[in-house]
Structure 1
Amino acid sequence: MRIEVSCLDRVGLAKDILLIMDDYGINLFAIDASNKGFLYLQFAEVSFDMLSELLPLIRKVEGVHDVRTVSFMPSEQEHYALKTLLKTLPDSVFSLDIKGRIRIVNESALHIIGMAEHEILDEPIGHWVQGFNFSRWLSETTVLAQATRVNIGENEYLAEMLPIYLPDGNENPILAGAVVSLKSPARLGQQFNALQNQTTGFENVLAASDKMKEVLNQARRMAQLDAPLLITGETGTGKELMSRACHDASMRREQPFIAINCAAMPDSAAEEELFGFMNNGTVVKRGFFEEAKGGTVFLDEIAEMSKAAQVKLLRFLQDGTFRRVGGDEEIRSDVRIICSTQKNLAELCQSGEFREDLYYRIHVLSFHVPSLRERKVDVIPLTEMFLEHYSQQLSVPIRRISGECREYLLSYAWPGNIRQLKNAIFRAVSMWDGSAELTVEQLKLPSYAEGFGYFDHEFEGSLEQAMKQFESSLIRRLYPAYPSTRQLAKKLGVSHTAIANKLREYGISKHKPN
């Protein structure tokens, strides 16, 4: 139970209140004093009747204005606020005493060390954080803030060390210890980029591989040009991210960027969405091209655009004008068109599924975003980036990637590319089970073989059983079309005796008409 006493700052006031509580045999747990005219007391729970007698007696003490029960004391609120802050911080934080021993540690620090809290409290921080003599620093005559590189195992961090000084009423504060904060290189890079004036628009695109660096160099040059741009690449490779980067790095960066998924637009509504709609001379809806005036329109999966919309887009690219559906007025809108596709547009032109003249209009500038399996060097840096991002977002301590998991990440084919990797990391972080490492099992990726596709991860049995299962399924499907043993045997290139035996073995017979 806790009470708040509103009172004057009088010597002996607290003693008078404590004497009253002592008369009732109440065990006091804690006391907080405030220079703003409040005194807080925490004590064991008492009955309502006792509390009804106690509060009026405290109100009669000289200097007391009022007394009321409260839910928490200021020191408790501060303690749990600090605890919550430390828990959610992505950086690793240690509080040390003047001997360099760990007194407080947050969850992020426990996970990079890989130990439980009770195992490291009261132990010297130097047992785990190497590269700096903490006890020597704290024993100096004047302890000043420091920043230096340190190591925990094979991982490097920037350590920021701040001394803790307590005022003692004179000009000589008392050293009580220090706070140490560790930042990983990835987090430092992220913070640095956030402080920069992002004029190029490509800071959020991670590229460690030579292939992706080359693509970024091409994209930076093309971003400055105003011609239509076509971005190709498999699903999930980050084509929209690259288109946004191109817009942000262009002279149009202050104007709108509108992304349109052509595959998600029904054919009946495509023209209205793109070019707007009028009814009886009144503008009912403004299209995306009108709303993006001066900016960029990104047409994602352009191969899925309807034939009618292709015709109107072609005209717009030719002279920069269009008409709203139901209107006669020529509308001029200065926008840059960026398109993307995972399909081969040249082949679609040959088959008549995509207009050839439109293809040449949108294919003035182009670059190809490589698949993740073509840029394996980027897999681990991307994993670490997504781990940090989602750990901060979901207030989960950042974990190490186990050695086995690293090998698995590098060997996996990633048919869904970066989107699949990102989703896998989000799932693993959101379902965090308290473990210190990211493991293969937590990723829950479907089994996939290059050139063969997904396969059943839950399959049990021998090769012979699998072959018999396939053979039975094949014969069962073919038998209705080749309803005699001789016909089926000829189709499969075996003897009719062999087929008869297989039919008998698998219990396959002709279906008699009802």
Structure 2
Amino acid sequence: MRLAVSCIDRVGLAKDILVVLEGYGINLFAIDASNQGFLYLQFAEVKFDVLSELLPLIRKVEGVSDVRTVSFMPSEQEHYALKTLLKTLPDSVFSLDVKGRIRIVNESALMTLNMGEHEVVDESLNHWVQGFNFSRWLSEPQVLAQATRVNIGQSEYLAEMLPIYLPDEQDKSILAGAVVSLKSPARLGKQFNALQNQTAGFENVLAVSDKMKEVLVQARRMAQLDAPLLITGETGTGKELMARACHDASMRREHPFIAINCAAMPDSAAEEELFGYVSGGEVVKRGFFEEAKGGTVFLDEVAEMSKAAQVKLLRLLQDGTFRRVGGDVEVRSDVRIICSTQKNLAELCQSGEFREDLYYRIHVLSFHLPNLRDRKVDVIPLTEMFLEHYSQQLSIPIRRISAPCREHLLSYAWPGNVRQLKNAIFRAVSMWDGSAELTVEQLKLPSYAEGFGYFDHEFEGSLDDAMKQFEANILRRLYPAYPSTRQLAKKLGMSHTAIANKLREYKISKPKGS
């Protein structure tokens, strides 16, 4: 039985109500006080006639305005809401007391430990988790949030520890324990891939710089036009993100969006994957252009497409039809084609590596995504966006960006563009060490100089040593293909004697079997 008593805040009110309950021999199980003018009581079930006498007597208590039965106490609702939340969490979660002993544990944690709740409650978490001393951490003068790698048996996890502080009457903090969550590397990877693969519209494309704002204006207009679209830009600039945004803003948004990486498809399988396959008059496989009926097909790195597939794509763009591999039936396809490339297609057409007629067919509409070096004003807003997203995703406090880190972010060349920045932030957040600021060291960015590429801070030796090492590597790679000193000398434009001397100097012997 539970009662909600509507009342004012008066000293002795609870005592007067308890006197009424005592008169009926009722033993109180629990009491909840609310700062919103309610007092909640829980006791054993009583008969209806007893309750009919009890309620009017409670209403007569000074300061009580009403009393009614309720289904649950506020503390019960909070308890079971927390229990349900912990039950649905896929990560292992432990609540510890100030000694590092387990007080609350969720089902995922019990499955990880392969034990029952009664076996782990009141036991030290360090009985099962190695690599971090929880009791020592909780006994420190100032307990700060931590994140570190730990092990349960042979399995590795990322452990995130957050202290629980309660305010006392002087508004000071009292340490009451900690919450520990364990994430497996596989789960972290799945969370990361979920962000990488999610469909996003233009509203999710961050643009602070004038260059990127101009691109978004162009892209929004072109998204509405049902014509082939070519998106150019360096690797990592977000070409697929923009292609998805164009699809989401088009009349085809209710139909499939299929992304195909042409560089990852072997030439032998490209035609079958794109257009389907027929054997013995039966359709063995439907191609992407059939599966995307009514939607959009995104051909990423179209410059890598095989010559045979280029011919079929050209015909599809010309009359909207194609034939499956091994078939002679014309199949009509209703799709919009969006292509992307980081290469110069015009130059590839001149060299014969890409069909010129196909180039003009896919280049009806186009826009170019600027690299991150040319939109530096977007770097800090992008960093803050990724920091917030991954921190929330991994249940880690959002950090500030330190001043040196800001300078480094703005001065770095970003050869991998937005993708490189996103990966760097994910790595820094997932390996959080409890610090309040994001630092240069946590980003772990490889050294890179515009126009020169990556370089190594740990290089030792002279320039002459480096040149000799490079020269020796070239000779070792070419000697098997040009297995005589005369052939190798002709290939490299040097004299036979010079090549023989260098092979002797670098102790490069004649390839076996030549």
With the shorter chain as reference, the TM-score category is 0.5 to 0.7
Contact 2:224 2:251 survives alignment (8 Å): yes
Secondary structure of the residue aligned to 2:283 is strand
Q: Equivalent residue of 1:322, what SS? A: strand
Structure 2 counterpart of 1:456, which letter? D
Query: Partners in 2 of 1:417 and 1:433 — Cα distance?
Result: 26
Residue type of the partner of 2:251?
M
Relative to 1, partners in 2 of residues 1:13 and 1:269: Cα closer, same or farther, differing over 3 Å? farther
Residue 456 of structure 1 corresponds to 456
Aligned to 1:374: 374
Distance in 2 between residues matched to 1:255 and 1:79, nearest whole Å:
39
CA gap of 1:387–1:81, structure 2 versus 1, over 3 A, is farther
Q: 1:327 to 1:11 in 2, by over 3 A?
A: farther
Matched, 1:274 2:274: yes
Q: State whether residues 258 and 297 of structure 1, in contact with CA within 8 Å, keep that contact through their aligned partners in structure 2.
A: yes
User: For residue 261 of structure 1, what is the aligned residue in structure 2?
Assistant: 261
Counterpart Cα distance in 2 of 1:290 and 1:510:
56
Measure how far apart 1:224 and its partner are: 1.3
**Paired residue for 2:404?**
404
| Residue 476 of structure 1, CA deviation | 9.0
**Cα distance change of structure 1 residues 286 and 230 upon mapping to structure 2, 3 Å threshold:** same
Q: How far is the alpha carbon of 1:249 from its aligned partner?
A: 1.3
Q: How far apart are residue 436 of structure 1 and its match?
A: 0.7
Which letter does structure 1 place at the counterpart of 2:435? S
3-state SS of the aligned residue for 2:203?
coil
Give runs of aligned pairs for residues 457-476 of structure 1, distance below 5 A.
457-459=457-459, 461=460, 464=462, 466-471=463-468, 474=471
Residue 422 in 1 paired to residue 403 in 2?
Answer: no
Residues in 2 aligned to 1:84 and 1:512: alpha-carbon distance in whole angstroms: 67
Structure 2 CA distance for aligned equivalents of residues 510 and 247 of structure 1: 57
The within-5 A match list for 1:119-198 is none
Matches within 5 A, 1:56-95: 74=76, 77=79
Residues 512, 318 of structure 1: alpha-carbon distance in 2 compared, 3 angstrom cutoff: closer
Q: Is 1:444 the equivalent of 2:437?
A: no
Distance 1:387 1:458 in 2: 30
> SS of 2:384's equivalent?
helix
d(CA) in 2 for partners of 1:356 and 1:121?
A: 76
Q: Deviations over 1:410-445 (max 9, x none)?
A: 111111111111111111111111111111111111
Deviation of the 1:381 alpha carbon: 0.5
Instruction: State the AA in 2 paired with 1:297.
Output: V
The one-letter amino acid paired with 2:309 is A
What TM-score results when the alignment is normalised by the length of structure 2?
0.58
CA distance in 2: counterparts of 1:299 and 1:82, whole angstroms = 44
- 1:187 corresponds in structure 2 to none
Q: CA shift at 1:218, angstroms?
A: 1.0
Residue of structure 2 in register with 1:296 after alignment: 296
Report matched runs for 1:1-400 at 5 Å: 11=22, 74=76, 77=79, 201-400=201-400
- Taking a change above 3 Å as real, the CA distance of residues 231 and 122 of structure 1, as seen in their structure-2 partners, is farther
Q: Is the 8 A contact 1:322 1:331 kept in 2?
A: yes
Query: What is the CA–CA distance in structure 2 between the aligned matches of 1:477 and 1:284, rounded to whole Å?
Result: 48
**Matched residue count:** 345
CA distance in 2 between counterparts of 1:476 and 1:265 reads 31
User: Deviation per CA, 1:243-263, whole angstroms, max 9, x where unpaired?
Assistant: 111111112122221111111
Letter of the structure 1 residue corresponding to residue 208 of structure 2:
A
Residue 230 of structure 2 contacts residue 340 of structure 2 at CA under 8 Å; is this kept in 1? yes
Q: Residue deviations 1:42-75, cap 9 Å, x none?
A: xxxxxxxxxxxxxxxxxxxxxxxxxxxxxxx959
Give, in whole Å, the separation in 2 of the partners of 1:377 and 1:313. 39
Q: Is the 8 A contact 2:270 2:306 kept in 1?
A: yes
- Please give the alpha-carbon distance, in whole angstroms, between the structure 2 residues aligned to 1:306 and 1:425: 36
Over 3 Å counting, the alpha-carbon distance change for 1:475 and 1:295 in structure 2 is closer
Q: Secondary structure at 1:203's aligned position in 2?
A: helix
| Cα offset, 1:16, TM superposition | 7.5
The Cα shift of 1:215 comes to: 0.8
Identity %: 72
Q: 1:329 deviation in Å?
A: 1.9
RMSD, aligned α-carbons:
4.4
Unaligned runs of 5+ in 2: 1-19, 33-39, 46-74, 88-143, 147-162, 173-199
Summarize deviations over 1:169-204 as a string: whole Å, max 9, x none. Answer: xxxxxxxxxxxxxxxxxxxxxxxxxxxxxxx93101
8 A Cα contact 2:400 2:436, kept in partner: yes
Residue 35 of structure 1 deviates from its aligned partner by: 5.4
Which residue identity lines up with residue 326 of structure 2 in the other structure?
G
* Aligned equivalents of 1:296, 1:510: Cα separation in 2: 55
Query: Aligned-pair distance for 1:277?
Result: 1.9
Task: String of CA shifts for 1:53-100, please: whole Å, max 9, x gaps.
Answer: xxxxxxxxxxxxxxxxxxxx9599479769989xxxxxxxxxxxxxxx
Give, in angstroms, the shift of residue 120 of structure 1: 9.1
Equivalent position SS for 1:298? strand
State how far apart, in whole Å, the 2-side matches of 1:325 and 1:482 are.
Answer: 46
In the superposition, relative to structure 1, how do residues 403 and 82 fare at CA in structure 2: closer, same or farther (>3 Å)? farther
Q: How many Å separate the matches in 2 of 1:441 and 1:255?
A: 45
Indicate how the Cα distance of structure 1 residues 404 and 360 shifts in structure 2: closer, same or farther if over 3 A, else same: same
Corresponding letter in the other structure for 2:286: R
Q: In the alignment, is the contact (CA less than 8 A) between 2:21 and 2:27 conserved in 1?
A: no
CA gap of 1:374–1:13, structure 2 versus 1, over 3 A, is: farther
Cα distance change, pair 215–121 in 1 and its aligned pair in 2 (3 A) = farther
What CA distance in whole angstroms lies between the structure 2 residues aligned with 1:423 and 1:13?
A: 68
CA distance in 2, matches of 1:513, 1:83: 66
Shift in CA distance, 107/254, structure 1 to aligned 2, threshold 3 Å: farther
- Of the structure 1 ranges 409-418 and 267-276, higher mean CA displacement relative to structure 2 is found in 267-276
The 1-side partners of 2:423 and 2:510 are apart by 51
Contact 1:32/1:74 (CA < 8 Å) preserved in 2?
Answer: no
1:360/1:468 CA distance change after superposition, 3 Å: same
Q: Indicate conservation of the 8 Å contact 2:26/2:44, yes or no.
A: no
Which residue type is aligned with residue 272 of structure 1? E
- The runs of 5 or more residues in structure 1 that have no matched partner are 1-8, 19-30, 40-72, 86-105, 109-115, 126-199
d(CA) in 2 for partners of 1:299, 1:266: 14
